[in-house]
Chain A
Amino acid sequence: DTAVSQTPKYLVTQMGNDKSIKCEQNLGHDTMYWYKQDSKKFLKIMFSYNNKELIINETVPNRFSPKSPDKAHLNLHINSLELGDSAVYFCASGQGSTGELFFGEGSRLTVL
């Protein structure tokens, strides 16, 4: 049973296209996150949702739009993709009381 699953695992696309990454967690957590890991392996938070409500929105271009239909799902849609968007995007979930984070396997996005 995969605790945090995200799809697709790999995404190769042209500049200017729109793409989505889906994430689902079956841990019953209230909070879900999107992180971006750059080529130097640094992890930076992008968004955080708690019970379907946006609570953290770091300095991310508005081409990135998260959507949470329910607390078990947090999807990421990216419009007008740019070369600099190439990275690995990680979904994570956690329960606020303990703060322990659980990560998905990552989605590697390559923009050509």
Chain B
Amino acid sequence: KQEVTQIPAALSVPEGENLVLNCSFTDSAIYNLQWFRQDPGKGLTSLLLIQSSQREQTSGRLNASLDKSSGRSTLYIAASQPGDSATYLCAVTVSGNQFYFGTGTSLTVIP
């Protein structure tokens, strides 16, 4: 069964710093990988979706990479801002309809 792990569980950085969040999965036979952001008391907002044939995706200050063979993905956030404070979750799809979520990284950006 697919297991998804995110490290670290919590991260606190000063504003302006670049940072990397990690996601690892045990079964490399994935359909795609998606990064989400969850604000307290809210639902999940999709940030980036990487198909299994892709190596990375970029959106603004966010860059996500995917290495299927090693079972890893990273989310790079450039020039962090206090508004980036949230929980970040990754999820892998093993078919078109089955998603497995990671445990999340709680990010705090200190002004």
Interface residue range, chain A: 20 to 34
> Could you count the A-B residue pairs with CB atoms below 8 Å apart for me: how many are there?
61
Least CB separation from B42: chain A residue: A105
Q: How far is the CA of A89 from the CA of B56 in the complex (A)?
A: 31
Q: How far is the CA of A48 from the CA of B99 in the complex (A)?
A: 10
Asked if A69 CB lies within 8 Å of chain B CBs, one says no
Contacts A55-B97, A56-B98 given: A100-B46 contact, CB under 8 Å?
yes
Least CB separation from A96: chain B residue: B96
**Among A44, A50, A92, A98, residue most surrounded by chain B Cβ atoms (within 10 Å):** A98
- B interface residues, tally (CB under 8 Å): 23
B49 touches A100 (CB 8 A): yes
Q: Is the interface of A mostly helix, strand, loop or mixed?
A: strand
- Cβ 8 A contact of B32, one of A41, A50, A90, A99: A99
Asked if B31 CB lies within 8 Å of chain A CBs, one says yes
Contacts A41-B87, A43-B89 given: A102-B46 contact, CB under 8 Å?
yes
Q: How far is the CA of A90 from the CA of B89 in the complex (A)?
A: 15
Contacts A42-B103, A45-B99, A56-B98 given: A99-B42 contact, CB under 8 Å?
no
Asked if B91 CB lies within 8 Å of chain A CBs, one says yes
Contacts A45-B98, A99-B32, A100-B34 given: A106-B43 contact, CB under 8 Å?
yes
Chain A residues within 8 Å of B, Cβ to Cβ: 4, 31, 33, 40-45, 48, 50, 55-56, 90, 92, 94, 96-106
Q: Lowest 8 A-B CB distances belong to which pairs? A: A96-B96, A103-B43, A43-B101, A103-B44, A105-B43, A99-B93, A99-B32, A100-B49
Chain B residues within 8 Å of A, Cβ to Cβ: 31-32, 34, 36, 38, 41-46, 49, 87, 89, 91, 93, 96-99, 101, 103-104
7 CB contacts below 8 A, A to B, read: A33-B99, A43-B44, A44-B101, A48-B97, A94-B97, A104-B43, A105-B43
